[in-house]
Structure 1
Amino acid sequence: MGLTKKQRAANYFAQHRALLQCPICHEAMMVEENGTVRCEENHSFDMAKQGYVNMMTHPATSMYDKSLFEARKEVIDSELYRAVYNVILAELDGDVAILDTGCGEGSHLAKLKESYASSMVASGIDIAKEGIVQAAKNYADMMWVVGDLAKSPYAENAFDVILNFLSPANYEEFKRILKPNGKVIKIVPQAGYLRELRALFFADSEKESYSNDKTVARFSENFDDVRVQRVTTTLPIRSELVPLLAHMTPMGWHQEQQIEAGMLTEITIDVDVLIGQ
């Protein structure tokens, strides 16, 4: 009989426990046979049966629910972001430890890991528990954590690469947990990102256009060596994915207009990949 999800995850956490620190006292962590993650000061965090650990030190709310993460997985599985992954993969070299911050249901990280030729130790963190539950259910042999980088569960100099995919950044924490000569790779929307969907929601309004200038400038302030690579591609989109795409993006949350299958036939992915060292 094979290992349960929890047993398999406990083994992975134990193997890579050096990546972790106690979010309360910052001491090193040990992983017990049952998956409980415990520090020398006896602060402990239990592993859920799905194979993730909740290391939040305070209650948190998220606008992201189960249906949003299910929609997000369907859209990401359709390979809309493949051109972005290819740019990220070209930045990786040899065996790497990578952290996806704001990973949601983990689909971007899983796509990168399955496409990477060398060994990848992968962890994903999000304050949205529902996303991490789905990540652990769908993707084994990764370290899935419910947590907040403001109370970080990761050790200093732990990661070769920190991925920040269309998500808010915590640069102070990124630099603490990044190895010397490591990279932060941040993906931010460019003016044409999802422009077909934006046109449906915001036709003839200021919101139909978008600028990431402030985000790029803030990234550049935090790193000595910064490169920017733009990725722009327009792809056909299956009709049944159109309402899912609308559901997974914040621009659709407060719209009365119903986006239905077939309302779009193509969609544009237009992002800047920011690489900082």
Structure 2
Amino acid sequence: MTTPIADSADLPTMTPLTALICPLDAQPLTRDGQSWCCVDGHRFDIARQGHVNLLPVQRKRSLDPGDSKAMVVARQRLFALGGYLPLAEALARRVVESVDTPLGGASLGVLDAGCGEGYYLRQLAHAAGQEGIILEAAGLDISKHAVLAAARQSRDAAWLVGTNAALPLEDDCVDVVICAFGFPVWQEFARVLKPGGRVVLLEAGAEHLLALRKILYRELKPARGEAGLSAAEAAGFTSESDVEHLYAGLSLASNEQIRDLLTMTPHLYRAEREGLARAEALSELEVELHAELRVFTSAIAQDKT
């Protein structure tokens, strides 16, 4: 089963977010042919596939930051199995339910912060489109390979190579930030959110890929718990409701699929050699996906009025 994607010329569900700023001097960017330019003369060319690189060299921690091409390709194959679809649908549902937007041709400004291959943003666009809501959307990731893969699948959003630590977006320009299995930077999220805006966060739960982790590690690390939310609170965010626990199953029917799961996660680089050998010797594996879904409102965003 594959993810339903509604990127259609007849029924568009996304339009590109254009409130971009220069990553070098924070000046507004304007479209000039096949480039985005600021008044100080900085120019960022739009790639043939439609995405734009707004990650300056001085903000890179390595020559090729973020997910590698192999990780991106492996993740695309795993997503095509359909196991992650219930998680993406739940995130989309929470976004649609959380906004007070009139139906019928309304638009909603959305940033997917850490968009990867665009899987969750495209699913959100599909769900919003069924409610008559068109997304004015941007997907941003530090991995050029992930953004390229996203742009190849849909030209309806603004696909940006960039960092959550310094979002190349204007202040108060989006209604919702989604962050799925990513690295939230709460101060930046608060800056780009409109008054009353929300962050919809999807993170790995304590039982996520537990069967795989038991094979890889002799000792499992304890769950992070609520400690990871302190940064959100420090940035002025409050949780709208209790955490929603999401569970889904993923059946891996070949050694190649197990290898893809290892490749798309950090476990390939963190696990002990003996654990990797045990996992790579398997020909099938049943794993459980466990995610925690939360919606946050920024008090700072509300105070902007």
- Normalising by the smaller structure, the TM-score range is 0.7 to 0.9
**Corresponding residue for residue 190 of structure 1:** 205
**Corresponding residue for residue 52 of structure 1:** 51
Superposition pairs for residues 49-198 of structure 1, below 5 Å?
49-59=48-58, 60=60, 61=62, 62=65, 64-88=67-91, 89-92=93-96, 93=99, 94=101, 95-116=107-128, 117=130, 118-198=133-213
Identity rate, percent: 23
Which runs of 5 or more residues in structure 1 are unaligned?
1-11
SS in 1 for 2:189: helix
8 Å contact 1:97–1:160 — kept in the other structure? yes
8 Å contact 2:87–2:248 — kept in the other structure? no
1:229, distance to aligned residue in structure 2 (A): 2.8
1:262, distance to aligned residue in structure 2 (A): 5.4
Inter-CA distance 215–268: structure 2 relative to 1 (3 Å threshold): same
Measure, in 2, the Cα distance between the counterparts of 1:261 and 1:226.
Answer: 44
1:139, distance to aligned residue in structure 2 (A): 2.1
Inter-CA distance 150–39: structure 2 relative to 1 (3 Å threshold): same
Q: Deviations over 1:142-196 (max 9, x none)?
A: 1111112333310111111111111111111100001111111111211101111
**Corresponding residue for residue 296 of structure 2:** 276
1:28, distance to aligned residue in structure 2 (A): 1.8
SS in 2 for 1:119: strand
SS in 2 for 1:163: strand
SS in 2 for 1:153: coil
1:55, distance to aligned residue in structure 2 (A): 0.9
Say if 2:220 is the partner of 1:216. no
Count of matched residue pairs: 260
Normalising by structure 1, report the TM-score.
Answer: 0.85
Measure, in 1, the Cα distance between the counterparts of 2:54 and 2:173.
Answer: 17
8 Å contact 2:110–2:174 — kept in the other structure? yes
SS in 2 for 1:141: coil
Say if 2:268 is the partner of 1:252. yes
8 Å contact 1:230–1:270 — kept in the other structure? no
Q: Deviations over 1:203-259 (max 9, x none)?
A: 4x133x433321134334431343233233241414143221111110222433243
8 Å contact 1:242–1:261 — kept in the other structure? no
Measure, in 1, the Cα distance between the counterparts of 2:22 and 2:212.
Answer: 42
1:56, distance to aligned residue in structure 2 (A): 1.3
Aligned alpha-carbon RMSD (Å): 2.1
1:23, distance to aligned residue in structure 2 (A): 1.8
8 Å contact 1:234–1:266 — kept in the other structure? no
Structure number with the bigger relative contact order (C-alpha 8 A, sep ≥ 6) is 2
1:264, distance to aligned residue in structure 2 (A): 4.3
